[in-house]
């Protein structure tokens, strides 16, 4: 390892350390009540000491990982994923939002402490949250300029496949990112359009082949639950009784399950929407000061969108 690369690794370690430290502090505060032993049983997260592998289409990697954790750690495996979610999310967001330490920590804390995360912890959507924690790193692969476009798109589709193997929801969550990225390059930048179209088609084909184990069962089995108008009504995004749908969704609320359960943060903090507006205003004023790490994201504005525009787009997609 030469001196320059050693300095880069050392700089990355020191820049990531505060975020990891804050993440572990948050994780300790959240999981301290579980340290005494026993299993954490939640709505969609409940398994005993003898866990079957089950249906891999619900998340191949996460299913195997749960079985492995349960075999090695026993009851600790039921809350270890959420403990490591917080430092992982802080680290990933710090790598995406490359700015001052205060900006990285603020973005990380907001990313891992919000009503969306609160609701998903309550119902036990841990695989979804692990994918959520990794999402900024996947977004960075979209932003980062690689040695070749083929290599860049290969990294992007690998992230797409990996996130889907954790939770099938990322087939469309990160799929939206892939489509937006391709649409911007084809319709706005308009350089090497035919090549970009072929890269998009190739990425979708590789993704479909890699996830054939998810799609094939639906052609040979009958679904146990029919999804219709009633289901869509039950699982729709909920509106706030006073402010309506869009302010509620903007505040990371709107999860369909409203109870019985713990009191939502906005019910205990009546001024929540004004605090949200303040956060949005501060974030908007801070956008011009965002920059990319020179030795990590060397993106030329004539090759792709301006880095600041990409960062704004990425934040919107993440949310």
Q: How many CA atoms lie within 13 A of 24 on its CB side?
A: 5
**Mean per-residue pLDDT of the chain:** 78
Cis peptide before 260 (omega within 30 of 0): yes
Dihedral over Cα of 294, 12, 137, 161: its sign? positive
Cα 179–chain centre separation: 17
* 244 SS3 class: strand
| Domain extents in the chain | 149-221
Specify whether the CB–CB gap between 119 and 261 falls below 8 A.
no
Dmax (CA) for the chain in angstroms is: 63
Predicted model pTM? 0.81
48-62, 92-106, 275-289 — most confident range: 92-106
* Per-residue confidence (pLDDT) for residue 279, from 0 to 100: 78
Specify whether the CB–CB gap between 134 and 92 falls below 8 A.
yes
C-alpha–C-alpha distance, residues 42 and 21, integer Å = 27
C-alpha–C-alpha distance, residues 197 and 149, integer Å = 12
pLDDT tens track for 189-243:
778 888 888 988 999 999 999 888 777 776 777 666 677 777 777 788 888 888 8
């Amino acid at each position: 390892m030469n001196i320059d690369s050693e300095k880069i690794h050392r700089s990355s370690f020191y820049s990531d350390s505060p975020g990891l430290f804050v993440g572990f502090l948050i994780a300790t505060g959240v999981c301290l009540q579980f340290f005494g032993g026993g299993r954490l049983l939640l709505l969609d997260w409940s398994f005993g000491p003898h866990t079957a592998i089950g249906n891999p289409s619900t998340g191949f990697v996460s299913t195997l990982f749960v079985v492995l954790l349960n075999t090695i750690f026993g009851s600790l495996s039921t809350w270890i994923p959420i403990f490591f979610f917080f430092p992982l999310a802080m680290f990933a967001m710090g790598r995406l939002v490359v700015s001052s330490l205060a900006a990285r920590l603020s973005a990380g804390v907001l990313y891992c402490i919000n009503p969306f995360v609160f609701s998903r912890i309550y119902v036990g959507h841990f695989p979804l949250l692990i994918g959520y924690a990794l999402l900024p790193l996947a977004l960075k692969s979209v932003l980062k300029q690689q040695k070749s476009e083929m290599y860049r798109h290969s990294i992007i589709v690998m992230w797409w496949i990996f996130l889907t193997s954790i939770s099938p929801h990322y087939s469309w969550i990160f799929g939206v990112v892939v489509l937006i990225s391709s649409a911007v390059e084809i319709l706005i930048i308009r350089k090497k359009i035919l090549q970009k179209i072929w890269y998009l088609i190739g990425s979708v084909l590789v993704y479909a082949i890699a996830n054939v184990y998810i799609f094939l069962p639906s052609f040979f089995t009958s679904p146990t639950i029919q999804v219709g108008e009633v289901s869509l009504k039950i699982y729709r995004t909920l509106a706030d009784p006073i402010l309506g749908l869009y302010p509620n969704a903007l505040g990371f609320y709107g999860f369909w399950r409203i109870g019985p359960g713990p009191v939502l943060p906005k019910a205990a903090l009546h001024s929540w929407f004004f605090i949200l507006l303040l956060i949005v205003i501060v974030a908007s004023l801070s956008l011009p000061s965002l920059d990319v790490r020179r030795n990590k994201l060397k993106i030329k504005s004539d090759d792709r969108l301006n880095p600041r525009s990409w960062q704004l787009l990425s934040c919107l997609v993440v949310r």
